[in-house]
Amino acid sequence: MICCPVCGSTGIYLVAGGYTGMLYRCKQCGYEGAFVIEEDQGPEEGAGDVTTEQGKDKVGSS
Ligand SMILES: [Zn+2]
């Protein structure tokens, strides 16, 4: 998945690619260039989230 560096739209497509380099064009804002934002990973949540132990440092105030 590639995104436009200008407007962030994913409606960007490869116009030309080869020995001269890649050329992308955004149909959202009209950006044209070789630089695009590549997003390869999807939304990942809940990875490496250790259990928070709150209250184990409780102060007995009465
Ligand atoms: Zn754009």
The pLDDT, as a whole number, for residue 53 is 63
Q: Which are the contacts of 26, defined by CB distance < 8 A and separation ≥ 6?
A: 4, 6, 7, 9, 11, 12, 32
Q: What gap in Å lies between CA 4 and CA 14, rounded to an integer? A: 11
Helices (H) and strands (E) in the chain, counts: 0, 5
Q: How far is the CA of 55 from the centre of ligand 1 (A)?
A: 49
Looking at the domain assignment, is residue 55 inside a domain?
Answer: no
> Quick one: pLDDT at residue 39?
84
| Full-model pTM | 0.58
Assess if residue 23 is contained within a domain. yes
- Residue 47 belongs to some domain of the structure: no
Q: Could you tell me the residue range of the domain that residue 29 belongs to?
A: 2-38
Q: How far is the CA of 20 from the centre of ligand 1 (A)?
A: 22
pLDDT tens-digit map of 5-56: 999 999 999 998 878 788 999 999 999 999 999 987 666 665 565 666 666 6
Domain total of the chain: 1
Ligand 1 centre distance from Cα of residue 42 (Å)? 21
What's the gap in Å between 24 CA and the centre of ligand 1? 10
Contacts of 43 (CB under 8 A, 6+ apart): none
User: CB under 8 Å to 54, separation ≥6 — which residues?
Assistant: none
45 part of a folded domain:
no
Q: Tell me how far the alpha carbon of residue 13 lies from the centroid of ligand 1, in angstroms.
A: 10
| Within-domain flag for 60 | no
Confirm whether 28 is domain-assigned: yes
